[in-house]
C-alpha cells in the first residue's frame, strides 16, 4: 500500500494541476463545494464524517484518503471515523466493508497512529 500522506499529496497536486488545465471547471466545482459547506448547518467534523461514509460507499480510495485526513483535522476521533465507515457498510455491504478494512483503517493507522 502506498504511503497515505504521499497519496494525499499526489491527489492535491493533481487537483492543482487540473485547476491550471481546466480553471473554469475547477472553479465551478469549488464554488459548489463552498456553497454547500458555508451554510453552516452541519459543522465541519460532521460534514467530514458524512463524506467518509459516502467515500466508502462509493468505493473511492482517493476520497477516503482526503476525507479521513480532513475528519481528523476537524477533530473527529478514530472511533467516530470508523463508525461513519461502518454506517456505509450497512448500506454498501461487502465491498464497502473491504474499503473500510483496507483503506479507512490504513489511513487511520498512518495518519492518527
| Domains of the chain: residue spans and CATH | 1-12+42-113 (1.20.1290.10)
Q: For residue range 38-74, list pLDDT tens digits in order.
A: 878 899 999 999 999 999 999 999 999 999 999 999 9
DSSP label at residue 41: S
C-alpha cell of 62?
482517493
Q: Give dist(CA 90, CA 92) in Å, integer.
A: 6
pLDDT, mean over the chain:
93
Q: What is the pLDDT of residue 3?
A: 86
Residue 81 pLDDT > 60, yes or no? yes
- Place 1 in a pLDDT band, splitting at 50, 70 and 90: low
Q: Which three cell numbers stand for residue 16?
A: 492543482
Q: Which residue has the cell 477516503?
A: 64
24-39 pLDDT tens trace: 999 999 999 888 888 7
Q: What is the C-alpha separation between 91 and 18, in angstroms, rounded?
A: 32
What is the distance between the alpha carbons of residues 105 and 85, in angstroms, rounded to a whole number?
10
Amino acid at each position: 500500500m502506498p504511503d497515505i500522506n504521499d497519496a494525499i499529496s499526489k491527489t492535491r497536486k493533481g487537483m492543482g494541476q487540473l485547476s491550471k488545465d481546466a480553471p473554469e471547471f475547477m472553479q465551478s466545482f469549488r464554488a459548489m463545494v463552498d456553497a454547500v459547506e458555508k451554510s453552516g448547518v452541519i459543522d465541519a467534523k460532521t460534514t467530514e464524517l458524512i463524506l467518509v461514509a459516502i467515500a466508502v460507499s462509493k468505493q473511492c480510495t482517493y476520497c477516503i484518503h482526503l476525507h479521513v485526513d480532513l475528519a481528523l483535522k476537524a477533530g473527529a476521533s478514530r472511533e467516530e471515523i470508523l463508525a461513519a465507515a461502518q454506517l456505509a457498510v450497512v448500506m454498501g455491504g461487502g465491498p464497502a466493508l473491504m474499503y473500510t478494512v483496507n483503506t479507512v483503517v490504513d489511513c487511520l493507522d498512518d495518519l492518527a497512529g
